[in-house]
Structure 1
Amino acid sequence: MLHIPVASSNLKSVAYDPSRGILEVLFKSGAVYQYYNVPTSVHDDLLGAESKGQHLAKFVKGKFPYRLMSPSS
């Protein structure tokens, strides 16, 4: 997946695989999370949000299954 850098105090980049509905988020801490069954609209809204971190917390965390892919360094 191709990561897109984002302007955020907490997130470094975001990647999305629309065919599998996987949203991957790289945090500035180095942690990488994958969220599953994420609709394209949720990804698009995240990229367009003024605050990426707040949007992620409100519309993604706790709403979709996830997995920690790489812990923070």
Structure 2
Amino acid sequence: MASPDAKQSSCDHRRSHQARWRREMNRDPVQSSNISSVGYDDASQTLEIEFNKGGIYQYFDVPIAEYNELMRAESVGTYFSANIRTSYRYARL
């Protein structure tokens, strides 16, 4: 079993990694009643979503095709809910 210090170190590493992506991620505004902006990083296949209520989440291992479909969707929020929200690992920033 990992010590509390090891767990904290792992948690700190995750936060550090997430904070690094957050600073580098550019998001584009979208028209949606639920989502404010969307960003994508090709190198890490990370999708970043900013919600209108203020939360920012990163979704991991999202293929570029999925991001492109999201951005082309008639309803970004509906596409996100149906195809991304529960399909990929994520972390709240």
TM-score (norm 1): 0.92
What's the counterpart of residue 65 of structure 2? Answer: 41
1:62 is displaced (CA, Å) by: 1.1
In 1, distance between residues paired with 2:33 and 2:85? 17
In 1, distance between residues paired with 2:54 and 2:85? 18
Q: Which structure dedicates a bigger proportion of its chain to strand?
A: 1
How big is each residue's C-alpha offset from its partner over 1:23-42, in whole Å with a ceiling of 9 and x where there is no partner? 00000000001000000000
Alignment: residue pair count: 69
Name structure 2 gaps, 5 residues minimum: 1-24
In 1, distance between residues paired with 2:81 and 2:34? 11
Q: Tell me, yes or no, if structure 1 residue 15 matches structure 2 residue 34.
A: no
Name structure 1 gaps, 5 residues minimum: none
TM-score (norm 2): 0.73
What's the counterpart of residue 54 of structure 1? Answer: 78
What's the counterpart of residue 89 of structure 2? Answer: 65
Measured on the aligned residues, the alpha-carbon RMSD in Å equals 0.5
Give the greater-gyration-radius structure (CA).
2
What's the counterpart of residue 6 of structure 2? Answer: none
1:46 is displaced (CA, Å) by: 0.3
Q: Which structure dedicates a bigger proportion of its chain to helix?
A: 2
> Given the alignment, which residue of 39, 50, 56 partners 1:26?
50
SS in 2 for 1:29: coil
